[in-house]
Amino acid sequence: MDLRNISQEEFEIIEAYLTDTLSDEDSLKFEDRLKNEDGFATKVEDIRTVLTGIETQALKEQLDHFHHDLSTDKNKTTKKPKVKSLNWKRITVAAALIIAAGSFWFLNDNTNERLYAKYFTPDPGLPTTMGSNENYEFYEAMVSYKQGNYQDALNTWKNQLKTKTTNDTLNYFVGSALLAYKKENEAISYLLEVTKQANTTFKNEAFYYLGLAYLKANNKNEAINFLKKSDFTKAKDLLKKLN
């Protein structure tokens, strides 16, 4: 049996079966084929392995990113420079490189930083009205957020996120608070989560703030990428200055 030989139609129906998106009727037909058609079950198992393989490898690659973040966080605090013997020639070359790279970074950083400062204002937040709110904790934190007590707001919201991981409102405001709290790198993953939701009302905001977060992190390409996706005039304005 040649496993390579599978039509698009057949692939799609197997995929739908494996991801549990077939209608009841089609499901029955499918199970029937599984039982009666020679070699079909092997094909289905193969596709199942391929889908698992893709997912597993994609996660594995993401784990390396997590690990990288872990070690950069640590290096900042624990690495001490060790100089055993002085090699002046090397040191001079290194110093020259550092100065060159540093001044490039500084100049580059400066314009991005300035633009960021000009365009960034924290999201004003949601109106908090007194009364019969079922979600008291959330609005309590919203008050903290508006008063600029980002840490307090973050504590509550992050806690709520543990049980509502894909909630777009929570992800969006955690992202906003982190950004206002000058933790743009952390903010990015929350804002990205918002943009994954197809019907979120925060889409334009999230894209705009993602653009700003990347700008602050000095990643101009990504910044442009996300600003393009936002309908805000501010986003379009900023894009013109970046191009």
Partner 1 sequence: MREVYKTGQKLQIVSAIKSNDSVTLRRIYTSNYPKVETLVLKNNGTKDHAKDIFQEAFLAVWQNVKQDKFIPQNESSINGYLYTIAKNKWMDVLRSQGYKKTVIASQLSYFEIKDGENNGIDDDILKDKRLEDVMLAFKDLGDACKSILRMFYFEKKSMNLIAEELKLDSASTRNKKYRCMQKLRQIALKNN
Q: Residue with structure tokens 């806690």?
A: 159
User: Among residues 109 and 186, whose Cβ is nearest to partner 1?
Assistant: 186
Sequence-distant (≥ 6) Cβ neighbours of residue 111 within 8 angstroms: none
Reading the block at residue 70, the tokens are 């872990």
- Span 26-55, contacts to partner 1 by CB under 8 A: 46, 49-55
Q: Which of 93, 95, 170 is nearest to 126 (CA)?
A: 170
CB of 174 to partner 1, least distance (A): 9
177 near 153, Cβ under 8 Å? yes
CB of 113 to partner 1, least distance (A): 27
Binds partner 1 (CB under 8 A): choice among 35, 60, 79, 90: 60
Please tell me the distance from the alpha carbon of residue 147 to that of residue 233, in angstroms, as a whole number: 27
Using DSSP's 3-state secondary structure scheme, residue 215 falls into helix
CB of 167 to partner 1, least distance (A): 10
Please tell me the distance from the alpha carbon of residue 230 to that of residue 207, in angstroms, as a whole number: 5
CB of 92 to partner 1, least distance (A): 32
Q: Quick check: 56 binds partner 1 (CB under 8 A)? A: yes
Q: Quick check: 86 binds partner 1 (CB under 8 A)? A: no
In terms of Cβ atoms closer than 10 Å to its own Cβ (0-12, 13-18, 19+), residue 207 is buried
Q: Quick check: 67 binds partner 1 (CB under 8 A)? A: yes
The H helix count followed by the E strand count for the chain is 11, 0
CB of 45 to partner 1, least distance (A): 9
Distance of CA 222 to the CA centre of its chain: 12
Residues touching partner 1, count (CB under 8 A): 39
- Span 159-218, contacts to partner 1 by CB under 8 A: 161-166, 171, 189-190, 192-193, 196, 198
- Span 143-162, contacts to partner 1 by CB under 8 A: 161-162
Binding residues for partner 1, rule: CB under 8 A, are 3-4, 6, 8, 11-12, 46, 49-63, 66-67, 69-70, 161-166, 171, 189-190, 192-193, 196, 198
